[in-house]
Chains A and B, each alone.
Chain A
Amino acid sequence: EAGVTQFPSHSVIEKGQTVTLRCDPISGHDNLYWYRRVMGKEIKFLLHFVKESKQDESGMPNNRFLAERTGGTYSTLKVQPAELEDSGVYFCASSQSTGHYGYTFGSGTRLTVV
């Protein structure tokens, strides 16, 4: 089966611009998660979708971040306007049930805000 696909793999934008990251989960996986790792820190949870509904968005840093999952398939994460501290690697993961059999992660999008 195809894995979790994220694009772009890299993005360099200027402070104040908008960037949209996309994640295509494994087909049939209802649960979709966004995580990110900023420089030198641990990977941290951002939010969790079950189908098209936001189950938990407690990790979203502020209202410059907007995540959507239209139709319960792919998801987008928009950062508007981007700030320097948003630089990092953004990972998407999906799972069939509650994830206790292992979440499958994508390769990530490396975002650099200059």
Chain B
Amino acid sequence: EDQVTQSPEALRLQEGESSSLNCSYTVSGLRGLFWYRQDPGKGPEFLFTLYSAGEEKEKERLKATLTKKESFLHITAPKPEDSATYLCAGSGGYNKLIFGAGTRLAVHP
């Protein structure tokens, strides 16, 4: 059965303290690995799609990487406005996304 697991469930950082979020996946015929950001009361907001092992993408303080079993979202020198829930999702042979439970990130000044 296709599955996506994220860790940690929650992460508290001081402003400027870099860290990484983990996403482990078992998705048959993975066509894409997605990262989303979700703020309270809002829908997921698209960040990145990764397609193959070794691929990396960056956006401001965020960098996503992909291996054959995992993806990492690296956050460099985070700011309080980076506080949100970060969701990982895999897309297999069809277009539906299989989501992980998310990592709740809190960045304190």
Residues on A lying within 8 angstroms of B by beta carbon are 4, 31, 33, 35, 41-45, 48, 55-56, 58-59, 91, 93, 98-108
Are A99's CB and B43's CB within 8 A? no
Q: Does B8 contact A (CB under 8 A)?
A: no
Q: Does B17 contact A (CB under 8 A)?
A: no
B46 partner residues in chain A, CB cutoff 8 A: 102-104
The contact of B91 among A4, A93, A100, by CB within 8 Å, is: A100
Interface size on B, residues (CB 8 A): 25
A44 partner residues in chain B, CB cutoff 8 A: 99
Q: Does B25 contact A (CB under 8 A)?
A: no
The contact of A100 among B36, B44, B49, by CB within 8 Å, is: B49
Are B87's CB and A102's CB within 8 A? no
Q: Does B84 contact A (CB under 8 A)?
A: no
Task: Give the CA-CA distance A4 to B44 in the complex, in Å.
Answer: 11
Task: Give the CA-CA distance A106 to B102 in the complex, in Å.
Answer: 18
State the Cβ distance, A35 to closest chain B Cβ, in Å.
8
Task: Give the CA-CA distance A98 to B60 in the complex, in Å.
Answer: 26
